[in-house]
Amino acid sequence: MAELAWSPVAAPRPPPGLGAKLGALVLLLLLPLGCGLGPLCCFTPGPGADAHSAVLSLVSCFAGGVFLGTCLLDLLPDYLRSISAALEGLRVTLQFPLAEFILAMGFFLVLVLEQIALAQREPPPAAEESRSLLPNGSIQTPPASPSPNPGARGAVRAALLVLALALHSVLEGLALGLQEADGAVLRVCLALLLHKCAVAFSLALKLLRARLRPRAVAACLALFAMMSPLGVGLGTAVAAGAGPRQRLCRGVLEGLASGTFLYITFLEILPQELGVPQHRVPKVILLLAGFALVTAILFIKM
């Protein structure tokens, strides 16, 4: 009789970069939440309470440089390689620039979400625009009636803003979850932490100025803080697949996330911070410093 031999089955290998992603997930949950809860303790009502902090502005410029370097030097090359390998695995040849189209769709997705939120927050155009071409005193306009229940309207607009930022954060977290190397995870995590902490602080100030209760503000901040870890988990699950269809799905999501990074840098951070006349030279220096930091990390192949 043939002898029966037992051989242990090899344990399944964990996804690449899982340890770094778990640590980044915890940081992305706790640090932005802590930065957002800070204004709840130090916020004081008044005309200058929501003034833009100089330190926050400088940190946002540094984050803009980190985002710019991460997108152009890290995310975009990895995304182009990933989508090309996926199409080769499926033996698909396209004349249409699919990779660039997916990148643009990620850009437009965040653009549409933010513009919808802003359209709901902006008041209707003033009647003075239609009266400016008429001579003075030629028309008598009754005084505008007060807006009914302004507190409810402010709450609705704040909820739309939080929803847009939450969906935005999921796409940001996807970029981290789709990375495989520990160094890439750390670079994307650094970019997300710098930006999310600044956004969480500013979001808390906006919600408090909208006269939301502290408990409602804390709930909104908790929702905002959980979205990036959720995106990290989704990206990790997609990255674990080894088939060509999984690789194609990963490439599509990575392209959407890269488009998100482009939008954050060029239409959110840089215009907002560089459009303010104060501290122009330090802002440019910190922007270059953030880009140089990512360049140095890539150069030494962390």
Residue 288 has what pLDDT?
A: 92
Please give the model's pTM, rounded to 2 decimal places: 0.60
Structure tokens at 224: 């905002």
Residue 50 has what pLDDT?
A: 43
Residue 12 has what pLDDT?
A: 53
Residue 141 has what pLDDT?
A: 46
Segments of the chain scoring below 50 in pLDDT: 1, 7, 9-11, 45-52, 127-134, 137-150
Please give the backbone phi and psi of residue 15, each rounded to the nearest 5 degrees, phi first. Answer: -60, 150
pLDDT tens for residues 74-115? 778 888 888 888 888 888 888 888 889 999 998 898 888 777
Residue 217 has what pLDDT?
A: 86
Residue 63 has what pLDDT?
A: 75
Residue 266 has what pLDDT?
A: 82
Residue 260 has what pLDDT?
A: 81
Q: Is 167 exposed, middle or buried (0-12, 13-18, 19+ CB in 10 A)?
A: middle
Q: Distance between CA atoms of 52 and 40, rounded to whole angstroms? A: 16
